[in-house]
Amino acid sequence: MTTTDDIAPGQAPADVAALALKPALEAVLMVVDEPATEADLARLLERPRRAVADALRELSDEYARTARGFDLRLVAGGWRFYTRPEYAAAVERFVLDGQQARLTQAALETLAVVAYRQPVSRSRVAAVRGVNCDGVMRTLLQRGLVEEAGTEPGTGAILYRTTNYFLERMGLRGLDELPELAPFLPEADAVEAESAEALPSFDPDAPEPTSTTEH
């Protein structure tokens, strides 16, 4: 049986149960969108729930003892990383600085899909663009251009829509003033309106974005 001592640094074992528990928990909790329960983490990492619970509390105590800029909290029945209140000024400055940056081409395309298909789920936006859009959606949420709009019946997926701030930045009184898609289609009878090419790119912060890097 493989043990954690048998795994070389940087090596990915085939058996998730062979991973060192604390680093594995840290890695998973770095990417969760909502608090993760001990039961879910135990199932995911194939470990006893008690071992997972003990490891989480030890990590939380360790972060507090070493005065890290973040801590691990048990909130609403699950665990998640949070920044510490005493470093709020640094986080706030970072977020506000991001508000001044231009939107990338990827963000513009994603925003256009949301604007024309709202309310729409992330998976639907990804299907239209043909690429994962989780990072871009987080950027648009952070910038206040989109917001959550309930869940999709049947799947429970979170739906998104544009905000009043989006209308303000676009100079629109309502969504009915969005430009028609037809003029942007190469051939209206040959190209589906849901394709990425069928959606106009527009920047609420600048007229002509130059970056195409996805963030």
Q: Are 161 and 140 in contact (CB under 8 A)?
A: no
Distances (CA, A) of 163 to 55, 66, 151, 171: 41, 40, 17, 13
Half-sphere exposure of 55 (CA within 13 A, CB side): 18
Q: What is the pLDDT of residues 93-110, one digit of tens each?
A: 776 665 556 778 888 889
Other CB atoms within a 10 A radius of the CB of residue 42 amount to 16
CB contact burial 66-105 (16+ within 10 A = b; e otherwise): eeeeebbeeeeebbbbeeeeeeeeeeeeeeeeeeeeebbb
Place of tokens 């544009």: 162
CA distance 19 to 3: 8
Question: Which domains, ranges and CATH numbers included, belong to the chain?
Answer: 14-86 (1.10.10.10), 101-198 (1.10.10.10)
Q: What is the pLDDT of residues 46-102, one digit of tens each?
A: 999 999 999 999 999 999 999 999 999 988 788 999 889 899 888 877 766 655 567
Q: What is the pLDDT of residues 150-186, one digit of tens each?
A: 898 888 889 999 998 888 888 788 888 888 866 655 5
**Considering just the CA atoms, what is the radius of gyration of the chain in Å?**
22
pLDDT at 23 over 50: yes
Place of tokens 């912060």: 205
CA distance 116 to 172: 14
CA distance 178 to 114: 12
Other CB atoms within a 10 A radius of the CB of residue 4 amount to 13
